Chains A and B, each alone.
Chain A
């Protein structure tokens, strides 16, 4: 079974600064997806960024980028130029792709609560 570990329960950063959230995972699969989801207070979870394991290039989405180290099974999220609206719970998640019709359930870590201070 796959497991996802987020070792930082809480983090804080000053507005406009850069912060990195850590995530490690354990799997015997060679093909999989990794995700970072954001869950703002009292709002639904939204996808921030995703990475396909077969791609060596790290994914980027505007101010968000990842450092994917497949051999080390590490998948960290870097948020540049932090904004007050980035305050949220951030969850790292793993997904094993299946054949058509199969479940592609997500396995989540426990999350990191990020606070951006003005």
Chain B
């Protein structure tokens, strides 16, 4: 099964970009990388996903390396409401998660 690892925690100053990495070295060629976040033990919320190309939506950007073994979620202007645990997911299996704290 795919195994994804993420830093345990990160801090980011409010208004700055938050860059959250994920290592998914066992990903297969047709498997997408999905990013979700979870606030206070609520259900995880979808952020963005990608296969090979970089992606951007109204919430975030996703950068996927050419070999597809890692990716980075970018929150361009972090706010206090972005404080949450961020997960990358491959094949419906969660990564280890990064607790992002946005500091005023």
Q: Do A and B come from one complex?
A: no
B residues with CB within 8 A of A: none
